[in-house]
Chains A and B, each alone.
Chain A
Amino acid sequence: MTRPATARWSLLLFVLPALAIYVMFAVAPLVSSVVMSFFNADRTLGSVFVGFENYIYLFTEPVVSARFWNALVNNIKYFAIHVLVEVPIGLLMAALLTSGALRRSEGVYRTILFIPATLSVVIVGFIWRLIINPLWGVVGFPLLGNQMTALPTISLMGVWQYVGIPMIFLYSALLAVPNDLVEASRLDGASPWRTFWDIKFPLIVPQFGLIVILTFIWTFNGFDLVFALNGSAPGPNYSTDILGTYFYRTFFGSSGQVADLDLGATVATVIFTIMLLVTALYFWLVQRRLRAHTV
């Protein structure tokens, strides 16, 4: 074992470069934005400390708060569709890839199925807009123009793009399942279906949980796809507005709306707090239990 003094010094030397860049260019700017949420910019007085006034405004002003709750609910749906569609399909792909039925083609499938994840949203938005366009595309129904279907449609575009990510996480987890267990189950006469659910899946539950919570973080940080398709006041009737676009519109304004930096910082702090609470709760309640269960 290294001596404590050496350990402390080495720790500092090794961690410092990463920590310095991370703190300087990510943590510090974010903290100063959070601080901003407790101030109000005033044309004559400069910034004035206002305590929780911005937060009170956010949750009591009728239009502002109604749009916030709308965006939060939409974001929950956006997350739910990803979890209910993207993760299961990713799992199915991973299960097929590791089913033992493939030989050389395994690598080819794996690479191809991941390709959409490497595309930028500019392309993804453009492709799908064209494909589902009622005039030139394959779908006659105005999917993006209907309040009921617009959000699920955009979510499914996101699923199309990112399904490779849960696939690859779960795939690599399945690869690590010891072969002798699988073989034993097979010799017992279990079907591949039973083998998967009885032997393999229980072993990858922690990774499955991890990809669910990462999907939560990614969808609650979501912005690009909605913005690329529907701009910063995503319609129809804000039915595709999620927290990311709500924040953007508040912080930077839109062509018809004046920007409000302090309120924007407030919105972002609230979003971050929600994510932190849910993630912490998850790790505290679920992930810990899952690990304890499987170890």
Chain B
Amino acid sequence: MRRISIGVTTGALVLGVSLAAMTSAVMAQSVTLTLGSWRTEDLAVWQDQVLPAFEATHPDINVEFAPINTNEYNAAIQSQIEGGTGPDLITCRPFDVNNEWIGRGYFSELDGLAGMANFTDTAKAAWTFEGHTYCVPVAAVLAGFYYNVDIFNELGLTPPTTTAEFIAVLQAIQDSGKYTPLAMGSADSWQLAYNGLYSVGPAYWKGEEGRLGLIDGTKKLTDPEFVEAFKAFAAWRPFLPPGQEALAYPDMTQLFTLGRAAILPDGSWNIKQVTSTGLNVGVFGPPAVEAGGQRYLQEMPDMAIGINAASPNQEAARTFLDWVAGPEFQQIYVNTAPGFFAMSNQAVTYDNALAQNFADLKTGASLTPRLALDRLSAGTPPLDDEIWRLLQLMMTTDTTAEQATQELQAGLESWYGPQKGN
């Protein structure tokens, strides 16, 4: 009896191990490229639309889309590459995090890639390090305000164009007592920055002028234009839903799609989720400071794809990236993943009406990426993380815009060369 049980045990073990070995043998086909990404939401987009189109013209190369949740993406990719493995193709984060990865030698250089000619230097900037480009730009995202058209009609409101109008609209919705004016919560601090401050702020710090001024040290976060921007964002606070301190990003989307809130400050990447319930949704851009003033819009280089330097399939990977840089991919991608906008200088049309509305916001607006991701977050404390934290404090405690900007400036001065000794 004893012997039998040990036999069974060993049998189960051998079975387990050999099954494990078999599974891995199946994977060892000739040229299969894996594409690491943080866009778990896009699994169907790649699997059903983008990759079949590529494979139709390149039957010898298979690409497998292998998403990792956003929260764990950086950690997983870093561990794998440091360990000498990782997906063949890596989706690149913009600016500082990616520059660190480039510096560590994670990517193969792409300078000679023919398709790179389709991108301007500005489009490539987020993934260029010491004069070389390492990733093919895939998409940029915009940020603005989704609004519930039916609620606006019911209350007789029109999309605001100036800060004063914006506040008036919020007040009118508040006064109606039926709907929450702004679907926004402070639990996920990143979106206070990305969908809030970086959206309304550029009108005050004049977009690139302010951003580049911080980078070269000629401007400080304590300058009036930045303090005003922080104040403009803080003015939203009375219009947030009750308990907003603990509401997370999915709660905000849910509140808006259930028709209980009128306006959702959010990025273009959320178009699919926002319209999933068939709600009548429109979009407007960040208001100008005053009537007739310059409009600004956050356009963020979001996603690019590079080749893992350790991948054994360099040639196939370059072939794939050349295709990604071309018009066929751009056209398919931006239309299957509405809310992501092509970065190449070739003409692309958008089928999704809301995506087209978003794209139209660019006309006449001055474009600027997120404030703190380029160079300003490459040290300790990273400015971007600090902005998240302080905006959360402003929205949940009595921290003022003045206090927040002072603390941010002090943190930046502690390590960032051009800001030191100002």
When the two chains form their complex, are residues A143 and B78 in contact, meaning their CB atoms are under 8 A apart? no
Q: Complex: how many Å from CA A233 to CA B192?
A: 14
B contact residues around A63 at 8 Å (CB)? 380-381, 411, 414
Residues 141-158 (chain A) with a chain B CB within 8 angstroms: 141-147
As a 0/1 sequence over residues 226 to 269 of chain A, the CB contacts with chain B under 8 angstroms (1 = contact) are 01000111011110000000001001111111110100000000
Q: Which residue of A lies closest to B383 (CB)?
A: A256
Give the dominant DSSP class at B's interface. helix
When the two chains form their complex, are residues B241 and A135 in contact, meaning their CB atoms are under 8 A apart? yes
- Beyond A63-B411, A133-B251, A255-B190, is A144–B392 a contact (Cβ under 8 Å)? no
When the two chains form their complex, are residues B242 and A259 in contact, meaning their CB atoms are under 8 A apart? no
Pick from A134, A144, A256: contact of B385, CB under 8 Å: A256
Binding-face segment, B67-75, B289-297, B355-363: B67-75
When the two chains form their complex, are residues B414 and A142 in contact, meaning their CB atoms are under 8 A apart? no
User: Is A61 part of the contact surface with B, judged by Cβ < 8 Å?
Assistant: yes
Give the dominant DSSP class at A's interface. loop
User: A32 to nearest B CB, angstroms?
Assistant: 12
A contact residues around B411 at 8 Å (CB)? 63
Pick from A43, A143, A144, A237: contact of B389, CB under 8 Å: A237
As a 0/1 sequence over residues 98 to 112 of chain B, the CB contacts with chain A under 8 angstroms (1 = contact) are 001001100000000
User: Is B397 part of the contact surface with A, judged by Cβ < 8 Å?
Assistant: yes
Pick from B78, B96, B245: contact of A145, CB under 8 Å: B245
When the two chains form their complex, are residues B392 and A235 in contact, meaning their CB atoms are under 8 A apart? yes
User: Is B384 part of the contact surface with A, judged by Cβ < 8 Å?
Assistant: yes
User: B194 to nearest A CB, angstroms?
Assistant: 10
Pick from A64, A133, A255, A256: contact of B247, CB under 8 Å: A133
Q: Which residue of B lies closest to A62 (CB)?
A: B414
User: Is A129 part of the contact surface with B, judged by Cβ < 8 Å?
Assistant: yes
User: B146 to nearest A CB, angstroms?
Assistant: 18
User: Is A4 part of the contact surface with B, judged by Cβ < 8 Å?
Assistant: no
Residues 367-399 (chain B) with a chain A CB within 8 angstroms: 372-373, 377-378, 380-382, 384-385, 388-389, 392-393, 396-397
User: A21 to nearest B CB, angstroms?
Assistant: 13
User: Is A189 part of the contact surface with B, judged by Cβ < 8 Å?
Assistant: no
Q: Which residue of B lies closest to A230 (CB)?
A: B187
- Beyond A129-B248, A254-B385, A258-B97, is A235–B380 a contact (Cβ under 8 Å)? no
Q: Complex: how many Å from CA A146 to CA B187?
A: 10
Q: Complex: how many Å from CA A226 to CA B353?
A: 40
Pick from B74, B244, B389: contact of A142, CB under 8 Å: B244
- Beyond A236-B396, A261-B82, is A256–B377 a contact (Cβ under 8 Å)? yes
- Beyond A145-B243, A258-B100, is A236–B393 a contact (Cβ under 8 Å)? yes
Residues 193-238 (chain A) with a chain B CB within 8 angstroms: 227, 231-233, 235-238
Residues of A near any B CB (own CB < 8 A): 41, 43, 61-64, 129, 132-136, 140-147, 227, 231-233, 235-238, 248, 251-259, 261
Residues of B near any A CB (own CB < 8 A): 70-71, 74-75, 78-79, 82, 93, 96-97, 100, 103-104, 185-190, 241-248, 251, 255, 372-373, 377-378, 380-382, 384-385, 388-389, 392-393, 396-397, 411, 414
Additional 15 contacts, C-beta under 8 A, given A237-B389, A248-B75: A133-B243, A133-B246, A133-B247, A134-B242, A135-B241, A135-B247, A145-B243, A145-B246, A145-B396, A227-B71, A235-B189, A254-B385, A255-B74, A257-B385, A258-B382
> Can you give 14 A-B contacts (C-beta < 8 A)?
A43-B104, A135-B241, A142-B244, A147-B397, A232-B75, A235-B392, A236-B396, A237-B392, A252-B78, A252-B79, A255-B93, A256-B190, A256-B377, A256-B385
9 smallest beta-carbon distances between A and B, as pairs: A134-B243, A145-B245, A142-B246, A252-B75, A145-B246, A256-B384, A142-B245, A256-B385, A144-B246
